[in-house]
Structure 1
Amino acid sequence: MRRIICPSMMCADFANLEKDVEELDKAGTDIFHMDIMDGCFVPNFGMGLQDFELVRKSTDKLVDVHLMIMNPGNYVEMFSELGADIIYIHPEADIHPTRTLDKIRSLGKRAGIAINPGTSVSTITDLLPLVDYVMVMTVNPGFAGQKYLDFTDQKIERLVELKEEFNFEIMVDGAISPEKIEKLSNIGVDGFVLGTSALFGKEESYNEIISRLKKDKLFV
C-alpha cells in the first residue's frame, strides 16, 4: 500500500528552511504540510505567509495548508492564490463548512477537513461527499511534541469503513512514529503528517528516513 509522506514544516529548521525543503523534496516527500494558526481556534500561532510562500516557490510537489483558524472560509481564496494545492478546514471553526468546501473545489483545489480528537465521525458524515481528504488529529491541535491519543484509533477505523463509499483519502496528524505508521497503514490510513516523532531532529538523513518509512514492512 502506498504511503503518502507529508513533512510538517512547522518542525523544520527555520534558519535553513529553503534547504530543508529541497532536501525533503529530493528524499521523496509527497506533500508539504503547512500549519496556519490564529491563536484563537488553537492556543498558538503557526507559520506565516512568508513561510508558506518560501515553501511553495521551493518545490513542485503538492503543498497543503491546514487552517487551524476561525472562519477559514474568509481565507481560502488567498491561500489558493498563494499556490496551495490542498486546503484543510476544521468544520468546528466554520459556520458554513459546506459552502467553504464547495468554494475550495470551485477554485480548482482539493478540499479537506481536519477533525479534532473530540469530534465524532457522526458529526462530519454529511460533509464527506464534499472532501478529497479527511485528516484525523491524533493529538489536540496547536503544538508539536504531544502524546498520541490512542482512542482516536476507533475514529480512524470508522473512517476506513466509509472512505470507499465517499472516495476520500485518510490522513493522520499528531505524534506519528514509525510504529504508528506501520500499524495505521495496515488499518487503511493513506497518508501521514510527520514531525519530530519520525522525521525531524534525527541523526539519519531525510532520504534514509523517508525511504524506510515508505517500505511495506518497517519492522521485521
Structure 2
Amino acid sequence: MMCADFSNLKKETQELDQAGIDIFHMDFMDGSFVPNFGMGLQDFELVRSVTEKPVDVHLMIQEPSKYVEKFADLGADIIYIHPEADQQAARTLDIIHQKGKKAGIAINPGTSVEMVQGLLPLVDYVMVMTVNPGFAGQKYLEYTDSKIEKLLALTNEYHFDVMVDGAISPEKVQQLSKIGVKGFVLGTSALFGKTSTYQETLGKLRAGE
C-alpha cells in the first residue's frame, strides 16, 4: 500500500477490495533499519476500518518486539518481522502467536536461508525480499531466486508459505507461482500506476497473462 495514492487512500482501499485483492500489505519503516520512512499508524487504522480482508504489516524497524502487540491490537492479521533487526526473534514470533495472529519473517537479499533456518518451525510465512528494502521502483535481484528455491524445498518439513516482495512483475508472478511461491506483494511493477483498473490487472495476473 505504500505505492497507493495517499491523497485518496480510502478510495484506493475500497477499489482494491472490490477488485478482489487477497491481502493488504502495509510497510512500516523507522529510518534506521532501512533508510526511509513508511506508512503511519493512522494509515493502518484507515485501511483496517475500510476492509474486512486480511491486513498484514511488514515491520522494517529496529526492535520490532516493541510494536508487534500494538499492531496486533489494531487488527493486523499477519505480522512480519526482520530477524536481522531483532536479537530475540523467536520470542517476538511467539508473542505474535500469543496474540492470535499469523507470524512471518522477512529476510533481506543478503540474508541466507541458513541464518534463519532455526526460526522456520516458528513461522507461518517467510517473505523473501527481492530488492533491498526501503524504496519502491527498484530492480529485481535475480540472485534471490536460489534462496527462494531453497526455502520452497523446506516448506513441507516446516509448514510455512513462501512470499516474495520487491519489483514483482507479471512475469515474475507467473514464473515463481509455477515453482510454489504462494504470495506476491505487488507494487509499481505490476499493480499501481497502470492504465487498466485494479480488477482488470488482477484478472490478467490470475489468468497468467
The offset of 1:163, in angstroms, is 0.7
Residue number among 35, 58, 69 corresponding to 2:27 in the alignment: 35
Residue 119 of structure 1 corresponds to 111
Q: Which residue of 2 aligns with 1:51?
A: 43
How far apart in 1 are the matches of 2:69 and 2:174?
Answer: 36
C-alpha displacement at 1:212, in angstroms? Answer: 1.3
Equivalenced residue count is: 209
**1:142 paired to 2:167:** no
- 1:143-187 deviation digits (Å, cap 9, x = unpaired): 000000000000000011001111111100000000010001111
1:137-176 alignment, distance < 5 Å: 137-176=129-168
How far 1:23 moved relative to its partner? 0.5
The alpha carbon displacement at 1:100 in A equals: 0.1
8 A Cα contact 1:28 1:211, kept in partner: no
TM-score normalised by length of structure 2: 0.99
1:204 to 188, 196, 203: 196
Task: State whether structure 2 residue 8 is matched by structure 1 residue 16.
Answer: yes
CA distance in 2, matches of 1:109, 1:11: 25
**Matches of 1:189 and 1:156 in 2, distance apart?**
8
**Where does structure 1 differ by over 3 angstroms across 4 or more consecutive aligned residues?**
none
Q: How much has 1:211 moved relative to structure 2?
A: 1.2
RMSD after superposition: 0.5
CA deviation map 1:97-126 (0-9, x unaligned): 000000000100000000000000001011
Normalised to the residue count of structure 1, the TM-score between the two structures is 0.94
Rounded to whole Å, the distance in 2 between the matches of 1:200 and 1:113 is 25
